[in-house]
Structure 1
Amino acid sequence: MSYEYDARRSGSGAFAGALRDAINARDVTLSWLQQQLNARGNRVSMATLSYWRSGARHPEGVQSLAALADIEDLLRLEAGALSRLLRSTNRTGPLGPNQFPIDEEELERAVMDAFQALGASYPDTSRELTTHSVTDVGADGNIAYSVTRSIVQSTVGTITAIPFLEITPGVRTPAPVIEAVSGGRIAARYSHPDGEVHGVLFELDIPLTAPDTAMVEWSAEYPPDYPETRDTGHALAQKARELLVWTRFHPDAIPDWCEEHLETPEGVTLTPLPPPRGTSVHLVRRAFGPGALGLRWGYGPREDQPG
């Protein structure tokens, strides 16, 4: 029987009781709460809310914890009043290897330089438990904007900030405009002289002591002089529970071909994918890392078909 199963049963009672008390004190219904969440873009079903209130289940995953933050606000609770009751599930657990996810020594040295310039230790002592990376592609077929939402965890001691980097192996770029959306602020910025590594130091709202977790969200906007870029993805130095890479195309820029790019310590795998049936492509990996998961796309005949 897994630890997470036991933790769900033992920790759900306090959370469910606090949620019930807050709903009663606010004198609202689950239906009202669901409608307010939907208005904020958090689509949680009535059944899920009912499970949370009864203690049969509790919020897990990045979207559920985002909804929980809104529930606290809607019920006029202090930030974290409900989420802190879920701490019993935040066990660090087996960490596995922590290694640079891309097999390029010079690039890793540039990343180490970035960490040093940002005042961060290398390797990082935090890890991403769940990450959703969403990229919007403009009408010209190139990346325009991305937003990343993660549940991060301290693995050793107490951390107050986490470095987040944009890496473009072999391609020199200007710095994208990286901004904090939620969970903290940008305390420092750095661009490596080679133009392949740009990053920020994301200072957390609240220090994290292992094995505590926090939700963070940041965005990247790519300037007009950014090179033509028709690939996106996310890299992990440690194993995560879930990684989602979602690429959303402008209706006038639906690609003619796509391929999945997967890099792990075992090597690189390119997998041709069918053209999008709609306007987006999503890739999902669970229990993934270290490694990088990405999507590449193009228009017209594909000139570099893998052999």
Structure 2
Amino acid sequence: MSYEHDARRPGSEAFAAALRDAVNARDVTLSWLQRQLKARGNRVSMATLSYWRSGARRPEGAQSMAALADIEQLLELADGALTRLLRSTNRTGPLGPNQFPLDEEELERAVIEAFRALGAPYPDTSRELTTHSVTDVGPDGSVFFTITRSIVQSTVGTITSIPFLEINPGVPTPPPLLSAVSGGRIAARYSHPDGEVHGALFELDRPLTAPDTAVVEWSVEYPPDYPATRDTGHALAQKCRELLVWTRFHPDAVPDWCEEHVETPEGITITPIELTGGTSVHLVRRAFGPGALGLHWGYGPRE
């Protein structure tokens, strides 16, 4: 598994020294640490761990930061003992426009109502720096589970929570089950009366003061009475450094055709996608947003 670029930047020495001290104090090896991380689903290479310990590189990407949170636990450190040493690189930088990613006024009004009901300011004062969204498609060809991991950043003041929404334009649905996986808890839930917008307020483990960042992870499970859904994606109100939308199909439900849908303020672009014998499709955009990146699929001839 490849990790996002881990750069050598100011502050690497302090982080590396703290990591070395923690490994020595725990009296473990990097090989042991790698095995424990693998057991937790974080496949960090020995070379990467060695680079982090020496200060040649430092964790930067969403998966690297998630692995670092596990390392703190494995080395019996306080939460944030290592991650806070990386704060010197957390710069807000150019924010760019913050705007509703879809060109639908009625839908935006429903989103504003959802924010208000959840007690969140609109527009959101956080942004996603890196987001990886993974969707599993069941044997019936419909979405049944999505898990998303993001590095989020406070852009103004201090934030304690972030609203996450499920939006289905033109398709009323029952509320899916949004759950906090890591980095916080669900503090409130809301479903708009039109059934097109459902959301939850994700309360962070710790407050974020601009330009601090945190890694958060949440999942969405779709109930049995949920309408058949053959599209997935992720929308951004601000520019994101990297957005990954990975769709994994059940072996018995590999689609006959797929399309990439990209919606930005400039318009909508639809591009056919070739599966070429595989069972998954991943879409990647860098420096993307505001906008939405999604995948649509079907069976039989394209209508």
Report the TM range for the smaller structure's normalisation.
over 0.9
Structure 1 residue 254 and structure 2 residue 254: aligned? yes
- SS at 2:100's partner residue? coil
Does the Cα contact within 8 Å between 1:254 and 1:276 map onto a contact in 2? no
Match of 1:36 in 2: 36
- SS at 1:10's partner residue? coil
Match of 1:135 in 2: 135
Aligned residue runs from structure 1 range 1-307, under 5 A: 8-303=8-303
Whole-angstrom CA distance in 2 between matches of 1:180 and 1:98 = 25
Whole-angstrom CA distance in 1 between matches of 2:192 and 2:57 = 46
Task: Name the Cα RMSD after superposition.
Answer: 1.2
- Kindly provide the CA deviation profile for residues 213-242 of structure 1, in whole angstroms up to 9, marking residues without a partner as x: 111111111011111110000000000111
Report the Cα offset of residue 32 of structure 1: 1.2
Report the Cα offset of residue 29 of structure 1: 1.2
Identity %, equivalent residues = 83
- SS at 2:72's partner residue? helix
Report the Cα offset of residue 110 of structure 1: 0.5
Whole-angstrom CA distance in 1 between matches of 2:134 and 2:282 = 9
Whole-angstrom CA distance in 1 between matches of 2:125 and 2:239 = 13
Whole-angstrom CA distance in 1 between matches of 2:182 and 2:276 = 31
Query: Unmatched 5+ residue regions in structure 1?
Result: none
- SS at 1:252's partner residue? helix
Report the Cα offset of residue 9 of structure 1: 2.9
Report the Cα offset of residue 153 of structure 1: 0.5
Amino acid at match of 2:35: Q
- Kindly provide the CA deviation profile for residues 170-217 of structure 1, in whole angstroms up to 9, marking residues without a partner as x: 111110011111111111111111110000111111011000011111
Whole-angstrom CA distance in 1 between matches of 2:279 and 2:14 = 42
Amino acid at match of 1:124: D
Whole-angstrom CA distance in 2 between matches of 1:9 and 1:112 = 39
Amino acid at match of 1:69: A
Whole-angstrom CA distance in 2 between matches of 1:142 and 1:276 = 20
Indicate the larger mover: 55-64 or 8-17.
8-17
Segments ≥4 residues shifted beyond 4 Å: none
Does the Cα contact within 8 Å between 2:9 and 2:89 map onto a contact in 1? no
- Kindly provide the CA deviation profile for residues 16-45 of structure 1, in whole angstroms up to 9, marking residues without a partner as x: 000011111111111111111111111011
- Name the TM-score, length of structure 1 as normaliser: 0.95
- Kindly provide the CA deviation profile for residues 219-266 of structure 1, in whole angstroms up to 9, marking residues without a partner as x: 111011111110000000000111000101111100110010000111
- SS at 2:122's partner residue? coil
Whole-angstrom CA distance in 1 between matches of 2:41 and 2:159 = 30
Whole-angstrom CA distance in 2 between matches of 1:110 and 1:32 = 50
Aligned residues: 298
Report the Cα offset of residue 165 of structure 1: 0.2
Whole-angstrom CA distance in 1 between matches of 2:158 and 2:68 = 24
- SS at 2:70's partner residue? helix
Does the Cα contact within 8 Å between 1:155 and 1:211 map onto a contact in 2? yes
Does the Cα contact within 8 Å between 1:8 and 1:89 map onto a contact in 2? no
Whole-angstrom CA distance in 1 between matches of 2:184 and 2:66 = 15
- Kindly provide the CA deviation profile for residues 139-170 of structure 1, in whole angstroms up to 9, marking residues without a partner as x: 00000011111111000000011100000011
- Name the TM-score, length of structure 2 as normaliser: 0.97
Report the Cα offset of residue 10 of structure 1: 1.6
Report the Cα offset of residue 8 of structure 1: 4.0
Query: Unmatched 5+ residue regions in structure 2?
Result: none
Whole-angstrom CA distance in 2 between matches of 1:217 and 1:295 = 21
